[in-house]
C-alpha cells in the first residue's frame, strides 16, 4: 500500500487537480493512477484547460473537425466541446470508483464559465446545460462560491445536479454554502424526490491564504510590540491550516445537528475538499497542506507536483482534528495585529474569480488563434 492509499485509512480521498487529453485512455496515466494509487477523483478549472490546450497539439485535430462541421461555432462553444470530451472520458475511467464507493467518490469536475460568477441565473442555466451535455452520473459541476453562487448551489442541488462549490476561503462563506446544500436536499425531499446519490464537495482553498496573510504579518513585524511579535511567530505559515480546521469544526457540528433525517433518506454530507494544496512558499514543506489536514470525510485534490511529492515522502497520519477546538481562538489573535481575516478572504475570493476569468479569456484567445 503506497502513501496515497494510506490516506484512505484516515477517511480522506485523493483527487487529482489536473486533466489533459494525453492522460486519458484505458492504459493511460489516469487509469494507472486509479488502479495503482487509489486515485478517487479529478478536478479541472479554466487554468488547467488553458495550459492543456495551449501547450499541446492534442486538441488540434478535434478542433479542426468541429470547425469543418460547423463554421458558426465560436471559441466558447469549441472550448466546451473539447472539454466535455475530456470530462466524459475521465468520468468513464472513474466509473468503477463511483460504483465501489457507492457514489461517494469517482467524480470529475467541470466548471461553469468564470465570467458568470456574479450572475446566479446564468450560472444555473449553464450548469444545467453542461450536466445535460456531459450526461455522466459522476460529473460535478463547479460553481464559484461567490454570494451569487450560494443560491446557484442550492438550486442545482434541488435539481439533482452534483456540485463542486469552489473558491471558498472564509469559514463564514463555507457555512453559507453548506447550508445552501442542505436546503437544496430538503427541497427535493419536500417535493417527494430522492436525495440518494446526490453528491457535493466544498472546495476550501488553503495555500493562498498563507500567501496573503504571511505577507500581512511580515508588514507588521517592524512596528510590532514584543507581544505582537510572539503572535506573528505563532501564526506565520499556520493561518491557512487553522482556517481549514475551523471550517472542519463547523462541518462536524453542522452535520451532527441537522442532517440525521436527510441521511436516513440516503443523503450524504457535503465533504470539505482541500484545494490549492500545493505549497507556494519554498520555505515550507512541499506537502505541508497534505500532512496537516488529514482526517475523516474529507478530500484533498492535489496538483501534479504535490501528488508526486506526497507519494514519495508524505506522512499519512490523522492530523486534521489535532488542535481543531483551538483553531478559531488562535485565528482571533489576528485582530490584535489589526489584520481582518474575513476581509482578506474576500480579497482572495475576488482575486480568484479574476484569475480564473483571465485564464478563461486567454484560453478563448488560444482557441481563436488555432481557429485562424
Q: Is 20 left (phi over 0), alpha (psi -120 to 50) or beta?
A: beta
d(CA 70, CA 62): 12
What was the pLDDT predicted at 272?
98
Q: Which of 302, 203, 292 is nearest to 241 (CA)?
A: 292
pLDDT tens, N- to C-terminus, the chain (372 residues): 899 999 999 999 999 999 999 999 878 999 999 999 999 999 999 899 999 999 899 999 999 999 999 989 999 999 999 999 999 999 999 999 999 999 999 999 999 999 999 999 999 999 999 999 999 999 999 999 999 999 999 999 999 999 999 999 999 999 999 999 999 999 999 999 999 999 999 999 999 999 999 999 999 999 999 999 999 999 999 999 999 999 999 999 999 878 999 999 999 999 999 999 999 999 999 999 999 999 999 999 999 999 999 999 999 999 999 999 999 999 999 999 999 999 999 999 999 999 999 999 999 999 999 888
215 as an active site residue: the answer is no
d(CA 44, CA 88): 13
Count Cβ neighbours within 10 Å for each residue of 171-183 and write b for 16 or more, e otherwise: bebbbbbbebbbb
User: Which of 99, 128, 142, 236 is labelled catalytic?
Assistant: 142
For the whole model, what pTM was predicted? 0.96
Counting DSSP H helices and E strands in the chain, the numbers are: 16, 8
C-alpha cell of 157? 442541488
Beta bridge partners of 12: 298
Residue given cell 462549490 in the structure block: 165
d(CA 241, CA 324): 10
**Residues 106 and 96 sit within 8 Å (Cβ to Cβ):** yes
Task: Look at the alpha carbons of 176, 182, 183, 188 in this order and tell me if their dihedral is positive or negative.
Answer: positive
DSSP, residue by residue, 202-253: EEEE-HHHHHHHHHHHHHHTTT--HHHHHHHHHHTTTHHHHHHHHHHHHHHH
Structural domains in the chain, CATH included, are 3-207+243-322+348-371 (3.20.20.70)
**Residues 116 and 129 sit within 8 Å (Cβ to Cβ):** no
What was the pLDDT predicted at 257?
78
Tens digits of per-residue pLDDT, 240-269? 999 999 999 999 999 987 899 999 999 999
Amino acid at each position: 500500500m503506497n502513501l496515497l492509499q494510506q490516506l484512505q485509512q484516515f477517511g480522506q480521498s485523493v483527487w487529482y487537480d489536473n486533466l489533459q487529453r494525453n492522460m486519458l485512455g484505458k492504459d493511460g496515466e489516469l487509469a494507472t493512477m486509479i488502479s495503482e494509487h487509489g486515485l478517487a477523483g479529478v478536478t479541472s478549472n479554466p487554468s488547467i484547460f488553458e495550459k492543456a490546450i495551449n501547450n499541446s497539439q492534442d486538441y488540434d485535430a478535434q478542433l479542426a473537425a468541429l470547425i469543418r462541421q460547423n463554421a458558426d461555432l465560436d471559441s466558447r462553444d469549441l472550448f466546451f466541446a473539447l472539454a466535455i470530451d475530456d470530462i466524459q472520458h475521465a468520468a468513464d475511467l472513474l466509473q468503477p470508483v463511483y460504483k465501489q464507493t457507492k457514489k461517494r467518490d469517482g467524480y470529475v469536475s467541470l466548471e461553469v464559465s468564470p465570467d458568470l460568477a456574479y450572475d446566479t441565473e446564468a450560472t444555473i442555466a449553464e450548469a444545467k446545460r453542461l450536466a445535460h451535455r456531459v450526461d455522466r452520473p459522476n460529473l460535478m459541476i463547479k460553481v464559484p462560491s461567490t454570494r451569487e453562487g450560494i443560491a446557484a448551489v442550492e438550486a442545482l442541488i434541488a435539481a439533482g445536479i452534483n456540485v463542486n462549490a469552489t473558491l471558498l476561503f472564509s469559514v463564514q462563506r463555507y457555512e453559507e454554502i453548506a447550508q445552501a446544500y442542505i436546503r437544496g436536499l430538503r427541497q427535493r425531499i419536500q417535493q417527494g424526490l430522492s436525495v440518494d446519490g446526490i453528491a457535493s464537495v466544498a472546495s476550501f482553498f488553503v495555500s493562498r491564504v498563507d500567501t496573503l496573510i504571511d505577507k500581512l504579518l511580515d508588514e507588521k513585524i517592524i512596528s510590532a510590540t514584543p507581544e505582537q511579535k510572539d503572535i506573528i511567530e505563532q501564526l506565520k505559515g499556520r493561518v491557512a491550516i487553522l482556517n481549514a480546521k475551523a471550517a472542519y469544526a463547523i462541518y462536524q457540528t453542522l452535520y451532527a445537528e441537522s442532517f440525521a433525517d436527510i441521511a436516513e433518506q440516503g443523503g450524504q454530507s457535503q465533504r470539505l475538499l482541500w484545494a490549492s494544496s500545493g505549497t507556494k512558499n519554498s520555505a515550507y514543506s512541499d506537502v505541508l497542506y497534505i500532512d496537516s489536514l488529514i482526517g475523516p470525510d474529507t478530500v484533498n485534490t492535489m496538483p501534479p507536483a504535490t501528488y508526486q511529492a506526497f507519494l514519495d515522502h508524505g506522512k499519512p497520519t490523522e492530523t486534521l482534528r489535532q488542535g481543531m477546538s483551538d483553531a478559531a481562538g488562535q485565528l482571533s489573535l489576528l485582530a490584535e495585529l489589526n489584520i481582518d481575516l474575513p476581509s482578506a478572504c474576500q480579497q482572495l475570493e475576488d482575486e480568484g474569480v479574476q484569475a480564473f476569468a483571465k485564464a478563461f479569456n486567454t484560453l478563448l484567445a488560444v482557441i481563436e488563434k488555432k481557429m485562424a
